[in-house]
Structure 1
């Protein structure tokens, strides 16, 4: 049976949603966009570093430290309360417009669909509940139990064991090329959701399929 593993941040959930909260605080949309982009970049970088160093801290810690860096780099000072507000807003990010309809369609078709995330399970559950997606998913698989992050090969095996599926029957659906490459390395099939105009990483590997909108996925997968 085909099993779909959906990355959360950047695939189902739009991390750019935090920009509006930050812009309200700063009164400066371009600066808020700059900080939001840098925050996301450092959030991922810190998770990669910690995985390589085998010095785990939860994704929420990486997120807080990345925010501190992005603000410092932009020479912006926010109060502790404002930083806490931003971090709480990270649990209320919006779903991409195409996410709800696609998950509802898959659910009605009986296709198994899981959230597969670097975030802690409780935080991911809160986020997906707030975004109106949780009821359409068969479960949440977090890397937190392994104390490492994607694209560590162990996390992809952890998903297979948790979801009781085989690599050959499993598709990773992700807007993040590093995640696609990690899943391919683990023997999964992959679908890249191209959320931006950025090209795919030039590693002489490519996802099995690419879509610009999640609504195109069932047809591409032959469901």
Structure 2
């Protein structure tokens, strides 16, 4: 556990701050009502983002999501065109709403004087659109994505690059995410970490656990800030 407050907090966005419920519904419709395949789609998308890291063949995360949806459809004998897959993912991803606890939590951090920056696997245009549509832009001092680096989290190089962009030492920075793999990557890079226990989200037993953990962002902010 770190004893000092971070000067910069990096935030994951999808599921951490923004509710992916509408994406899940859209994917379910594309897969002909098979809501049981949504988790498989998420897993496949993340898996192939790591494959692109391993073989040094970067594609925007949205492209990977579309290709992953087509793959899951094929695996389950569901006819789905690329155009249908694109429509099922791109439109809802750009228009996600924040979880109910997010604005209050961000205000807590903002009022404390800590710099807040997003750090996502999305594209530059994607995160700009998401923050604008969710009315969260005003809470952040910056928005970093992997587009320039062309390597996806949780590769350690992403966190190291982000620290350099903000001119901050690892121990003086924190990452907050609802994904155990993201927290694990940041911790390995030497950063402080906070985990949001969104429904169905858990930390992996074989990696370092988050310094702070709470059911939502407001409760996490209170823990970190000492309220």
Fold-level similarity (TM above 0.5): yes
Q: Is the 8 A contact 1:100 1:132 kept in 2?
A: no
> Does residue 118 of structure 2 align to residue 97 of structure 1?
no
**Does 1:15 pair with 2:20?**
yes
Aligned length: 220
- Structure with the higher fraction of residues in helix conformation: 1
Matched residue, 2:129: 126
How far apart are the structure 2 equivalents of 1:181 and 1:26? 32
Select which of 22, 29, 48 maps to 1:46: 48
Q: Is residue 70 from structure 1 mapped to residue 72 from structure 2 by the alignment? A: yes
Query: Are 2:153 and 1:145 aligned?
Result: no
| Match 2:170 to one of 159, 167, 171 | 167
Is 1:185 the counterpart of 2:223 in the alignment? Answer: no
Partners of 2:44 and 2:140 lie apart in 1 by 29
| Partners of 2:24 and 2:76 in 1: CA distance | 15
Task: Report the Cα offset of residue 81 of structure 1.
Answer: 4.2
Query: What's the CA shift for 1:121?
Result: 1.4
Moved over 6 A (4+): none
Distance 1:81 1:198 in 2: 31
Distance 2:30 2:46 in 1: 24
Answer yes or no: is the 8 Å Cα contact 2:178–2:201 preserved in 1: no
What do residues 5-49 of structure 1 show as CA deviations (whole Å, max 9, x unaligned)?
Answer: 101122112223212234456673xx1x22322221111111111
**SS class of match (2:88):** helix
2:217 maps to what in 1? 214
Check the 8 A contact 1:107/1:136 in 2, yes or no: yes
TM-score by length of 1: 0.90
Partner in structure 2 of residue 85 of structure 1 = 87
Q: Which residue number corresponds to residue 58 of structure 1?
A: 60
Following superposition, the deviation at residue 176 of structure 1 comes to 0.8
- Measured against aligned partners, the alpha-carbon deviations of 1:54-91 in whole angstroms (never above 9, x if no partner) come to 22222122111111112222322234543232122221
